[in-house]
Amino acid sequence: MDLHVRYEGDDDPAKCSARKLARFDLAELHRSARATPTGIVLNPFAEQALSPLDGAGFDALVALDCSWETAEREAFDLRGHHRALPFLVAANPVNYGTPFQLNTVEAFAGALCILGERAHAERLLSKFRWGHTFLELNAEPLERYAACADSEEVVAVQGEYLDAGGADETGD
């Protein structure tokens, strides 16, 4: 699966995982929405969760690389089939341990694992010192999401993690 990034360039270039992927020819950066190919768009605002079913018929994953402070619904106005990643925990040094705050390489790796392309995800993450940690932190949910038949099942599995997290926060 080809990886494409709609690159905003508004975060720290030294910490930008999308730029690093591009340096290793693992993803292609695009400065405009029109130049970005159509595919599965990883969009946290999407109404449907990514599932293994989405892998059929698509040969491109698209991510928006921008700062979390400026990420807004309008920024994800890209052509394609928009899907949200389910509950996953960041392993990158900036957002370590924070649910749903993945950087670009983590989003790609999570999506690839769900779509049955774990070896591709491992290849991407191997370029980052902390990359293996992402797969370790999310081993169980990634395996469970990849075994789901459709988006509805992914959302049900995600609900188990969100319910468990809520119980831990309240002391139940």
17 annotated to a ligand binding site? yes
Do residues 82 and 46 make contact, with C-beta atoms less than 8 angstroms apart?
Answer: yes
User: Do residues 86 and 50 make contact, with C-beta atoms less than 8 angstroms apart?
Assistant: yes
Known binder of ligand: residue 26?
no
Closest CA to 110 of 168, 56, 158, 78: 158
67 annotated as ligand-binding? no
As given in the structure block, the two tokens for residue 104 are: 């670009």
What is the layout of strands, in order, in the sheet containing 39-42? Answer: 28-30, 2-7, 60-65, 39-42, 80-83
Single-letter code of the amino acid located at 84:
A
Tokens of 14: 């030294």
Nearest to 93 by CA among 109, 84, 108, 105: 105
- List the binding residues: 17, 64, 85, 104
- Please state the residue numbers annotated as binding site for S-adenosyl-L-methionine: 17, 64, 85, 104
